[in-house]
Chain A
Amino acid sequence: MPPSPCALCSSRALIVRPKNHQKLCKSCFLSIFEEEIHHTITTNALFERGERVAIGASGGKDSTVLASVLKTLNERHNYGVDFVLLSIDEGIKGYRDDSLETVKRNAVQYGMELCIVGYDELYGWTMDQVVEQVGKKGNCTYCGVFRRQALDRGATRLGINHVVTGHNADDIAETVLMNLLRGDLPRLSRTTHIVTSSVSSPIKRSKPLKYAYEKEIVLYAHHKKLDYFSTECIYSPEAFRGSARALIKNLERVRPSAILDVVRSGEDMAKLVPEGVSDVQHCAGRNEATPAGGEEEGSGGCGSGGGRSSGGEMADMEGQLVENESAREREVEITSTITTSNGISAKEKNTTRRHQQQDARKTRKLPRQNMGQCVRCGYLSSQETCKACMLLESLNKSRPKTEIEVGLEDEEEDSSSLRRRMENVVLAGG
């Protein structure tokens, strides 16, 4: 069998594009991948000339490819944008410390400035300590809330108000399905927007890789011989995401365009979410969407554990739904006893009551968020204290109040084991 020629030039095809099974040679693949991202950037007018933009860099394939492509395109098409790398150090040994080394190398390779913001310096807790405290289940909430704020704070420190993240088409499609499964309409309306800026954050986020397939990102990184870090986060992924991810992968196998199609559906469905539920201004179109508690923004690095679902989260949700339902049934029982005791006129009462209930249900839409400042840290928040501070408070409550510990913090290596030893000493003494 003769080798297949490239569909665009006549040299030998080496790559079958995951997106549409087109056969391409290496250089055509690289250039078409770059041009598609250029297309995304220009049609959505993502950047302004002279802007300083931070690339949320984890050292993983997505953000490394993002940084590489943006550098290439910035030079080729003369965007006139100054790119800076911004990394978050969650403090996860054996994962983040290694990937940060990659980011440091990337900064040198691409000639970009690098800023690293650590959870420990911002919050006084590393993720390793949080996990030690709350266990492996549910720690992703902390990580997500913390990361979102940390990115904003890092950007502010750099004097930047635009962060680009490496979310790819697979991530978006996954989130669309996930939000359908857990019935989260407000988030459904937010996730698909390519640019998100919001009242709850002064920093604008955008996702230039929104239409890029994960597999193509891997191929690009491979053929460009990019230096990236490929270990997944060591803590467990969310069950819903795992379930949705497995489904997406299967859909892609059946019909490669499915990922893009889900993204498209998600965009269309975002327009169908009723006004009261979403806080998106529809007239403003896709360029001025507003995420509020956008946890999905921060989940870039985690949750990609390939269908390893524990199921615990889904079971929790199932339990809650069942509870809601039985509560609703109890409510109906009460109204019906009233009707029987009051005779015929009560029938009318009953119907008006129903209407009232329905009205109440209708008007019980999410209240518009009024943004203020967190009384503790001054971060923008819809509540008196921001979510991060509330999580911190619960963490700090259970932290032993020994003064000694602060002194030990410097020697991070042994701090936890030392602390435990100290506790033992106290116990023995008492």
Chain B
Amino acid sequence: MSFGVSSVALLHLLDNQLQGQIDRMNRTGYGLLVVHVNTPSAAPTGMHMEKLEERYPRHTYLSVDLTEVFNCPSRILEGLGEPESISAPSGLGSQDSNQDKLDRLLESLPSATSRMDILNILRTRLLVENAKKRGCEGIIWGDSTTRLAEKILAETAKGRGFSLPWQLSDGISPHGVAFKYPLRDLLKKELVTYASLTTPPLNQFIVSEQAPQAFTSKNTTIDNLVTNYFESVEENFPSIVANVVRTSGKLSARQSFGDGKRCGICEMPIAEGTGGLHGWGGGQEKMDLSSSHLCSDEKLCYGCARSSLRVTTSVRTGP
């Protein structure tokens, strides 16, 4: 639950379906756990959660802080690896609050794009962790066609093209829980219309997403950029948006994720010998980045390695 139009509409639809099941059979086929993840950038949403709970009282509600990702079982921490190396220089590692750890992790990343990228991954992993802890069978995402198309291009632009089949398809995900995308065939503008037509309208529950920043801003991220791009494409060419999703849906995972190497950050399977920034023919930085921290490189997938790469070159140019 992000309080965006898609996830609110999804909750409304599922609630209706459950109501229908109760009316007919007096029992339901499934139960919902509505989870919201608080991220440092977003405004506090406690109030919105209460409003939703009032309107749809049938479900369990849970609000977690992104910082809790550091309290999760060792697997995530171990995979992250990052905070350890970051907290080392300060010497106070063990005393740090989770908030400090998160802040430092984010500060260490080279750009706004990387921060957003890693934040999204952390959020997914936290959701997965919570779903597992509470014995959920799967996670239902509110991604619309538009959102999925954005994801496809953004992930492609971030060098994560390899992971698309796992990020788009319904079914068991590499994280070990099933992912489902029931809104995959609806455009965002359809959902917006839908939200205004229900009685009462859903608009009151929707926290409008931040207006994307101006293009010149240094804080623009690849995700923002692609979102803006598809906003304009959807305006005139809605079928092209749907086509992107349909096409990418045809990509099939060639490799099972049963065993084999996993990326330490995003948990996506890595094909043998292609990990890190240098595991391919285009990795030419080898020659100018001989330095140290890239040893751990091959534990990460290309996309995560890219996002967590610190700007060594510009640091080195100091006097």
* Interface residues of A, Cβ cutoff 8 Å to B: 2, 4-5, 7-8, 13, 20-23, 32, 35-36, 39-40, 43-44, 176-177, 180-185, 194, 210-211, 243, 247, 250-251, 254-255, 257-258, 260-269, 271-274, 277, 282, 286, 311, 314-315, 317-318, 321-322, 325
A255-B222, A321-B243 in contact; A185/B250 too (CB < 8 A)? yes
Is there contact, CB below 8 Å, between A180 and B282? no
CA gap between A266 and B220 in the complex, in Å = 24
- CB < 8 Å: which of A180, A211, A266 contacts B244? A180
From A8, A185, A272, A325, B253 is in contact (CB under 8 Å) with A272
Cα distance A211–B229 in the bound complex, in angstroms: 25
The complex places the Cα of A221 from the Cα of B219 at a distance, in Å, of 32
Could you list 5 A-B pairs, sorted by A, with CB under 8 Å?
Answer: A181-B244, A255-B222, A260-B159, A264-B161, A277-B250
Q: Check if A265 sits within 8 Å of B160, measured CB to CB.
A: yes
What 0/1 pattern do residues 242 to 263 of B give for CB contact below 8 A with A? 1110111011111000000000
Chain B residues within an 8 Å CB radius of A311: 236
Q: Is the CB of B246 within 8 A of A183?
A: yes
Q: Which residues of A contact B284 (CB under 8 A)?
A: 36, 39-40, 211
CA distance A265 to B285 in the complex (A): 17
B117 shortest CB reach to chain A, Å: 10
Which residues in A have their C-beta under 8 angstroms from that of B319?
2
Interface residue? B71 (CB, 8 A):
no
B207 located at the interface, meaning its Cβ lies under 8 Å from any Cβ of chain A in the complex: no
Distance in Å: Cβ of B67 to nearest Cβ of chain A: 26
Measured CB to CB, the closest approach of chain A to B108, in angstroms, equals 16
Give bound CA distance, A109 to B174, whole Å: 56
Among A182, A258, A282, A286, which residue has its beta carbon within 8 angstroms of that of B222? A258
Q: Are A254 and B225 in contact (CB under 8 A)?
A: yes
Report the bound CA distance from A13 to B316 in whole Å.
13
Instruction: Give A374 Cβ to nearest chain B Cβ, in Å.
Output: 31
Q: Is the CB of B156 within 8 A of A269?
A: yes
Within 8 A of A (CB), among B204-239: 215, 220-222, 225-226, 229, 233, 236-239
Identify the closest chain B residue to A320 (Cβ).
B239
Q: How far is the CB of B284 from chain A (nearest CB, A)?
A: 4
Q: Tell me if B288 and A22 are in contact (CB < 8 A).
A: yes
Q: How far is the CB of A44 from chain B (nearest CB, A)?
A: 6
Per DSSP, are chain A's interface residues mostly helix, strand or loop, or mixed?
A: helix
With A21-B313, A255-B111 known as contacts, the answer to whether A210 contacts B153 (CB < 8 A) is no
Q: A7-B316, A321-B240 are in contact. Are A263 and B250 (CB under 8 A)?
A: no
Given that A36-B284, A177-B156, A261-B306 are known contacts, is A250 also in contact with B162, CB under 8 Å in the complex?
A: no
Q: How far is the CA of A255 from the CA of B220 in the complex (A)?
A: 10
Q: Closest B-chain residue to A261, C-beta based?
A: B159
Contacts of A266 in B (CB 8 A): 156, 161
Report the minimal beta-carbon distance from B223 to chain A, rounded to whole angstroms.
10
| Nearest-Cβ distance from residue A259 to partner chain B, whole angstroms | 9
Take A194-B281, A264-B161 as given contacts and tell me if A254 and B240 are in contact as well, using a CB distance cutoff of 8 Å.
no
Size bracket, chain B contacts? 35 or more
| B113 close to A255 (CB less than 8 A) | yes
Other 13 A-B pairs with CB < 8 A, given A21-B314, A22-B314, A272-B162: A35-B287, A39-B286, A180-B244, A182-B240, A258-B158, A269-B161, A271-B271, A272-B165, A272-B252, A273-B251, A274-B252, A317-B237, A321-B243
CA distance A243 to B240 in the complex (A): 13
Contact A265 B157 (CB under 8 A): yes
The 7 closest A-B pairs by CB, nearest first: A265-B161, A261-B159, A321-B239, A268-B162, A183-B247, A272-B251, A265-B156
Nearest opposing residue in chain A for B245, CB measure: A183
Which residues in B have their C-beta under 8 angstroms from that of A22? 288, 313-314
Cβ contact within 8 Å between A180 and B237: no
Consensus secondary structure, chain B interface: helix
Q: How far is the CA of A277 from the CA of B238 in the complex (A)?
A: 25
Tell me the nearest residue of chain A to B239, going by C-beta: A321
List residues of chain B with CB within 8 A of the CB of A265.
155-162
A44 and B282 CA atoms in complex are apart in Å by 10
Residues in B whose Cβ lies below 8 Å from that of A255: 111, 113, 157, 222
Q: A258-B222, A260-B282, A264-B282 are in contact. Are A318 and B156 (CB under 8 A)?
A: no
Q: Mark B262-305, 1 if CB is under 8 A from A, else 0.
A: 00000000010010000011101111100000000000001100
Q: How far is the CB of A177 from chain B (nearest CB, A)?
A: 7
A182 x B220 contact (CB < 8 A): no
Chain B residues with Cβ below 8 Å from A282 are 254
| A315/B237 in contact, CB under 8 A | yes
Q: Is the CB of B156 within 8 A of A272?
A: no
Question: Given A261-B306, A262-B156, A318 and B239 touching (CB < 8 A)?
Answer: yes
- Interface membership of chain B positions 109-123, coded 1 if the CB is closer than 8 angstroms to chain A and 0 otherwise: 001010000000000
- Smallest beta-carbon distance B3→chain A, Å: 26
Chain A residues contacting B271 (CB-CB under 8 Å) are: 271
* Interface pair A317/B222, CB less than 8 Å apart: no
Q: Inside 8 A of B221's CB, which chain A residues have their CB?
A: 254
Q: Which residue of A lies closest to B159 (CB)?
A: A261
Return chain A residues, CB-CB under 8 Å to B111: 254-255
In whole angstroms, how far apart are the Cα atoms of A262 and B306 in the complex? Answer: 12
Give the chain A neighbours of B274 by CB distance below 8 A: 268
In the assembled complex, the CB of A73 is this many whole angstroms from the nearest CB of chain B, namely 14
Measured between beta carbons, the chain B residues less than 8 angstroms from A250 are 215, 225, 229
